[in-house]
Amino acid sequence: MSATARKTALNAEDIRALKGGTPIVSLTAYTTPMAQAMDEHCDFVLVGDSVGMALHGLPSTLGVTMEMMILHGQAVMRGLTKALMVMDMPFGSYEEGPAQAFRNAARLMAETGAGAVKLEGGVEMADTIRFLVARGIPVMAHIGLTPQSVNTLGGYKVQGRDSAAAGLFADARAVADAGAFAVVLEKLPASLADQLTADIAIPTIGIGASAGCDGQVLVLDDMLGFFTAFKPKFVKRYADLGHQAEQAIAAYAAEVRARDFPAAEHLFADQAPKKKDTK
């Protein structure tokens, strides 16, 4: 089945309609098995450009390409039936202006079957968001700490403190007025996130923001304990799978070296038994 022949049950307008209700649940996904695991539990799944750091060992999200996003988007889409799939637009694929953004957003949607795209930026991206939405592309905005701008923000710092709060109000209002169906708020003071949530008519999705946001998103590999290079304060580890994987690999290596694996139950006899043992 081609990517565009698939579509999931929830769409961007369903997510918009969840403003002020039961909190919206979201995680990032990059592979089919993980998408399958979260489909039932999430309202939307984000194919984040965090894939570059989580799965490809890149030092930041800046090296992520359209091709990487499309490959992972196609894999995630194969695992979803219910949750909306949102594709991150990678660094350099939309900042030149609305026409470039439309070309690449349309490609992400056409080649993966995604129901929406996400891009980083507030006031400066409002015209681009308006252009995309008017041409049939649902847009999720992302303001506060925008990791693609790490080099101009001076690092992965908390945004919007003190007098900088006014800029965040301007950003949130600009993306909402431009037609974004939701906005990610990353790494802000909790009280500011609460005020922004009350101030705008579209859902706010917090990451390092506040439990008062309309929803939450986390990077899957952070919350499962697969990505351990560093742990932002806003990440809660719900599992320690990186450590468990390392222990399982060590056990396998020890058994191979001791010739304990494979054992009799993993081997095939000369004669085919009566019942099938081909699995």
Q: Where on the phi/psi map is residue 263: left (φ > 0), alpha (ψ -120 to 50), or beta?
A: beta
Closer to ligand KIV by CB, 74 or 216: give it: 216
Question: Catalytic site residues?
Answer: 186
User: Helices (DSSP H) in the chain: which residue ranges?
Assistant: 12-16, 32-39, 51-54, 66-77, 98-112, 126-134, 150-153, 165-178, 190-199, 220-223, 241-257
Binding of ligand KIV by 49 (CB under 6 A) = yes
**Number of chain residues interacting with ligand KIV (CB under 6 A):** 11
Let me know how long the chain is: 279
> Contact with ligand KIV (CB under 6 A): which of 8, 77, 84, 88?
88
Interacting positions 118-157 with ligand KIV (CB under 6 A)? 142
> Contact with ligand KIV (CB under 6 A): which of 219, 221, 225, 227?
219
Q: Which stretch binds ligand KIV (CB under 6 A): 46-54, 95-103, 129-137, 269-277?
A: 46-54
CB 52 within 8 A of CB 58: yes
110 closest CA partner among 161, 158, 162, 74: 74
Closer to ligand KIV by CB, 52 or 189: give it: 52
- Measured between alpha carbons, how far is 89 from 112 in angstroms, rounded to an integer? 13
Binding of ligand KIV by 50 (CB under 6 A) = yes
Q: Which stretch binds ligand KIV (CB under 6 A): 47-55, 89-97, 155-163, 238-246?
A: 47-55
Binding of ligand KIV by 184 (CB under 6 A) = yes
Binding of ligand KIV by 28 (CB under 6 A) = yes
Sign of the dihedral through C-alpha 19, 200, 236, 79: positive
- Measured between alpha carbons, how far is 30 from 45 in angstroms, rounded to an integer? 9
Binding of ligand KIV by 98 (CB under 6 A) = no
Q: Residue 242: helix, strand or coil by DSSP?
A: helix
Closest contact distance (angstroms) between CB of 139 and ligand KIV is 14
Binding of ligand KIV by 222 (CB under 6 A) = no
Closest contact distance (angstroms) between CB of 105 and ligand KIV is 15
Task: Report DSSP state, residue 266.
Answer: G
> Contact with ligand KIV (CB under 6 A): which of 217, 224, 226, 227?
217
